[in-house]
Amino acid sequence: MIEIGLLNRDLVALLSKMGHGDQLLICDAGFAIPEGLPVVDLSLTVNVPTVDTVLTEILKYFSMEKVIFAQEQADANPKKLGKLMAILGESIEQETIGHGELKQRSRSVKGVIRTGDFSAYTNLILVSGAGNRWIMEK
């Protein structure tokens, strides 16, 4: 029985299927998730868990090279976005798009993690990539 690390078996299974360039959506409680996508629903109640709580934990196991978020998030919740960017770190490439385009792009993600977050537009598409564990001689 696993007693440390990520305990949610569906989340572990989803993350283990991610490869370089695959995209993962972490979304708020109200995001309209497209039909047919694998979803790990972690929502329990209002703001439990939040996107930042989930992001902090999965970054211990998930390497990424880029984050995509909606301009509406920056407009509606700049402090929340600042907190998320601080969790991601300065080295992560950022792409800002409109919320409508983010919803369109969500149709092609490999999987979705739904949270209980009630902060408007708090949705991130994470693009997986090589992390600091990869050895490069030059």
Known catalytic membership, residue 99: no
**Residue among 133, 109, 96 at smallest CA distance from 40:** 109
Burial of 73 (0-12, 13-18, 19+ CB in 10 A): buried
Q: Give how far Cα 41 sits from Cα of 56, 91, 118, Å.
A: 17, 29, 14
How many other CB atoms are found less than 10 A from the CB of residue 81? 21
Torsion of CA 15, 21, 22, 28, to 10 degrees: 90
List the catalytic residue out of 9, 13, 16, 20.
Answer: 20
By annotation, the residues acting in catalysis are: 20
